[in-house]
């Protein structure tokens, strides 16, 4: 179980980092979302992974650490609000600047390539 | 129980919420008075806390839940100093914003209040996850304040700023998970007590977590490889917001002081002074890059933003000189640099308004209307920021130079500080001559200046002579504050011990 869990966190993190390094705002936002999922899963695992355990004393034979669960809940709420804000800002940037590049103007090579494509 | 420690969080958060409710929601004038009143009250509260914390650090257990399980607020001399400088800066920036910035959007003051709440909370908290939460509170209001009023420049800077900080938050959470997984606590003092007891295998994991925290705080405070976001973000922000942002990098610096001086401080066994070798080289490099930036800056606001980077480098350097024995010099410099850069952002905005289309760019244009007041303010601000005598920048830098004793440290610290001051001197002289003296015979149209705006700048700048005149008691206080980083951890640990023994005894 630990191995699968660690693998999931690793894949999510690497995909998230890769996507945030892209040049378009949409992929950046998706990357940030994946990264925050990875962070939440990681934070959840910091209380150790156990099965069939309630985070309350006396409810089950094993007990789970309730603190990471509370932390993850807080982190999810904050991450959700932040992602919503980033999306709105990205849309605003699209209308204000006329393109969806993170720098506000796409690099010239890209423009050149597009011009070549248009030419038959 | 004395409830004063909660006030710096409670007052702005309540005021922000009241402003969003119908009676005040549409009335900017009333919001303005409320905001001014609350921030003036915060200055008073900070003064009281300065007085109280001088005797003994105060521990405030939120909801009566005792640490280490409950969240606690900690007011020692370091916290009180930071709260005081935040309150003064926020009050002046708020006075400055009256009448101009607040008219450009409906939610200026509520956002401003939440931002102040987040900053104060980050300074007060003694729990590292709570620090994350307050970071997010101050960041989300800063995102909205940054793009307040709209415009291409702000949106572009805003998206990059938001993305970088969201990345930082993700890494913050990962670091917290790592540390909680090894130490089993999130209370800073409790963590400090447990760091020394780790087995070598766990030490490696805790070290990774600690260094990840350095990465996150380095991003917030604009330490060298992570400083690229700062200049254009600060230059694009509305003037009062940029002035308030002058404290935001210091929140990152403060977190580094607390985490690497408190948790991974000299009591941490094998992990003691974990970040020192990193901070040494990066802080010197930050000063160099910031100084070069001041010289290359094409406008006064970018110049000031680069001065912020120089001050961050200087403050982090003060943390590592001689093993952190002389942090008091750094704290004195922190008070000085926060107020000065804040004032310079406001002055740059005034100059921008007077110069019409050329704004504050350092090119010759139509001659500005003779504004003796503005020129005088610029000279005072520049002298203070560069570190020329007789103002407080000089005293701060002299204290820092004086605190290096070993040759190996002097070789790095002296050239970095002196040359950066020299470059700043050139940059500011050039900016001043271009802005005030060079220009065609035509006079630019006179823009309206509100007396409250000048008043705000004067109050902020008058802190510098006060810091100079009362340098001795302030340095004595900041000396105590520097010691408190370690001492208050021990005091909290004692409280936890007593609490444990009493609960074991009672049943």
Is residue B443 classed as helix, strand or coil in its secondary structure?
strand
A68 reaches B (C-beta below 8 A): yes
Indicate the pLDDT class of residue B443, thresholds 50, 70 and 90: low
Under DSSP, the state recorded for B435 is I
Per-residue model confidence (pLDDT) at position B1:
58
Pick among A40, A42, A106 to test the B interface (most B CBs inside 10 A): A42
Distances (CA, A) of B125 to B59, B75, B119, B121, B321: 10, 8, 10, 6, 26
Per-residue model confidence (pLDDT) at position B409:
85
Per-residue model confidence (pLDDT) at position A64:
87
Residue A15 has pLDDT above 90, yes or no: yes
Nearest alpha-carbon partner for B277 in B353, B340, B211, B229: B211
User: A62 pairs with which residues across the strands?
Assistant: A53
User: Which residues 173-192 of chain B have a CB within 8 Å of chain A?
Assistant: 173-174, 176-178, 180-181, 186
Q: How many domains does chain A have?
A: 1
Q: What share of chain B is helix, strand, coil (3-state, %, to 5)?
A: 80, 5, 15
Q: Report the C-alpha gap between B152 and B221 in whole angstroms.
A: 25
Q: pLDDT tens across B259-277, in order?
A: 998 888 888 888 888 888 8
Residue B502 has pLDDT above 90, yes or no: no
Token pair of B24, please?
């005040």
Query: Shortest Cα distance from B301 to chain A (angstroms)?
Result: 20
Residues of A in contact with B121 (CB under 8 A): none
Per-residue model confidence (pLDDT) at position B102:
63
Angle between helices B392-403 and B471-505 (to 10 degrees): 60
Query: Shortest Cα distance from B226 to chain A (angstroms)?
Result: 15
User: Positive or negative CA dihedral for B408, B413, B419, B422?
Assistant: negative
Per-residue model confidence (pLDDT) at position B499:
84
Token pair of B178, please?
């790592």
Nearest to B167 among A35, A71, A78 (CB): A35
CB contact under 8 A, B177 and A39: yes
A47 reaches B (C-beta below 8 A): yes
Indicate the pLDDT class of residue B47, thresholds 50, 70 and 90: very high
Q: pLDDT tens across B323-343, in order?
A: 777 889 999 999 999 999 999
Per-residue model confidence (pLDDT) at position B269:
80
Q: pLDDT tens across B164-184, in order?
A: 999 999 999 999 999 999 998
CB contact under 8 A, A97 and B174: no
Query: Shortest Cα distance from A115 to chain B (angstroms)?
Result: 25
Residue A120 has pLDDT above 60, yes or no: no
Better pLDDT: B6 or B355: B6
Residue B444 has pLDDT above 80, yes or no: no
The complex's ipTM works out to 0.89
Pick among B118, B173, B186, B191 to test the A interface (most A CBs inside 10 A): B173
Nearest to B170 among A39, A47, A103 (CB): A39
Segments forming the whole domain that contains residue A29: 2-118
Q: Report the C-alpha gap between B393 and B463 in whole angstroms.
A: 12
Residue B99 has pLDDT above 80, yes or no: no
Residues of B in contact with A74 (CB under 8 A): 129, 133
Nearest to A96 among B144, B155, B166 (CB): B155
Per-residue model confidence (pLDDT) at position B370:
63
Residue B371 has pLDDT above 80, yes or no: no
Indicate the pLDDT class of residue B243, thresholds 50, 70 and 90: very high
**CATH number for the domain harbouring residue A30:** 1.10.287
Residues of A in contact with B136 (CB under 8 A): 78, 82
A102 reaches B (C-beta below 8 A): yes
Pick among A35, A46, A101 to test the B interface (most B CBs inside 10 A): A46
Q: pLDDT tens across B53-75, in order?
A: 888 888 898 888 888 888 999 99
Residue B507 has pLDDT above 60, yes or no: no
Q: pLDDT tens across B194-208, in order?
A: 988 888 899 999 999
Nearest chain A residue to B157, by CA: A103
B137 reaches A (C-beta below 8 A): no
Mean pLDDT in residue range A47-56: 84
Query: Shortest Cα distance from A39 to chain B (angstroms)?
Result: 5
Per-residue model confidence (pLDDT) at position B165:
93
Q: Report the C-alpha gap between B141 and B13 in whole angstroms.
A: 12
Residue B49 has pLDDT above 70, yes or no: yes
Indicate the pLDDT class of residue B448, thresholds 50, 70 and 90: confident
């Amino acid at each position: 179980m630990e191995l699968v869990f660690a693998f999931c966190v690793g894949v999510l993190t690497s995909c998230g980092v890769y996507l945030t390094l892209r040049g378009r705002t949409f992929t950046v936002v998706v990357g940030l979302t994946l990264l925050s999922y990875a962070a939440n899963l990681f934070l959840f695992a910091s209380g150790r992974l156990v099965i069939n355990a309630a985070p309350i004393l006396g409810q089950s034979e094993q007990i789970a650490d309730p603190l990471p669960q509370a932390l993850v809940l807080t982190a999810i709420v904050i991450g959700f609000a932040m992602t919503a804000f980033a999306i709105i800002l990205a849309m605003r940037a699209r209308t204000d600047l006329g393109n969806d590049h993170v720098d506000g103007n796409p690099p010239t090579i890209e423009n050149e390539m597009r011009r070549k494509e248009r030419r038959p | 129980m004395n409830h004063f420690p909660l006030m710096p969080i409670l007052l702005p958060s309540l005021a922000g919420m009241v402003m969003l409710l119908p009676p005040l929601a549409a009335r900017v004038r009333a919001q303005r008075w409320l905001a001014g009143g609350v921030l003036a009250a915060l200055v008073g509260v900070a003064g009281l806390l300065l007085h109280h914390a001088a005797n003994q650090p105060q521990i405030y257990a939120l909801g009566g839940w005792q640490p280490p399980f409950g969240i606690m607020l900690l007011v020692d001399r370091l916290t009180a100093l930071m709260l005081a400088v935040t309150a003064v800066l926020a009050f002046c920036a708020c006075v400055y914003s009256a009448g101009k910035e607040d008219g450009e959007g409906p939610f200026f003051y509520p956002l401003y209040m939440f931002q102040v709440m987040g900053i104060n909370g980050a300074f007060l908290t003694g729990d590292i996850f709570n620090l994350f939460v307050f970071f997010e509170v101050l960041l989300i209001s800063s995102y909205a304040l940054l793009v307040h009023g709209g415009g291409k420049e702000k949106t572009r800077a805003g998206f990059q700023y938001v993305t970088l900080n969201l990345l930082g938050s993700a890494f913050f959470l990962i670091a917290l998970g790592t540390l909680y997984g090894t130490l089993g606590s999130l209370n800073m003092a409790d963590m400090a007590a447990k760091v020394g007891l780790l087995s070598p295998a766990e030490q490696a994991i805790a070290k990774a977590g600690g260094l990840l925290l350095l990465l996150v705080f380095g991003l917030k405070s604009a330490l060298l490889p992570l400083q690229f976001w700062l200049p254009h973000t600060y230059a694009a922000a509305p003037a009062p917001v940029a002035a308030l942002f002058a404290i935001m990098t210091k929140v990152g610096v403060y977190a580094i002081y607390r985490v690497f001086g408190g948790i991974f401080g000299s009591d941490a066994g094998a992990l003691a002074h974990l970040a020192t070798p990193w901070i040494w080289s990066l802080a010197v490099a930050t000063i160099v890059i910031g100084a070069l930036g001041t010289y290359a800056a094409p406008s006064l606001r970018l110049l000031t933003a680069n001065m912020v980077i120089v001050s961050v480098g200087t403050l982090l350097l003060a943390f590592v000189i001689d093993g952190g024995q002389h942090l008091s010099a750094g704290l004195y410099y922190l008070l000085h640099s926060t107020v000065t850069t804040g004032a310079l952002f406001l002055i740059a905005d005034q100059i921008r308004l007077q110069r019409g289309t050329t704004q504050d760019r350092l090119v010759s244009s139509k001659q500005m209307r003779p504004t003796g007041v503005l020129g005088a303010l610029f000279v005072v601000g520049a002298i203070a920021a560069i570190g020329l005598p007789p103002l407080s920048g000089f005293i701060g830098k002299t204290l820092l130079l004086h605190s290096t004793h070993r040759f190996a440290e002097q070789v790095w610290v002296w050239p970095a500080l002196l040359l950066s001051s020299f470059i700043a001197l050139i940059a500011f002289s050039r900016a001043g001559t271009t802005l005030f003296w060079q220009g065609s015979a035509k006079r630019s149209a006179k823009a309206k200046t509100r007396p409250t705006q000048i008043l705000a700048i004067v109050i902020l700048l008058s802190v510098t002579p006060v810091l100079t005149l009362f340098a001795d008691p302030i340095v004595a206080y900041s000396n105590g504050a520097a010691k408190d980083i370690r001492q208050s951890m021990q005091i909290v640990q004692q409280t936890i011990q007593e609490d444990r023994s009493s609960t074991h005894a009672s049943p």
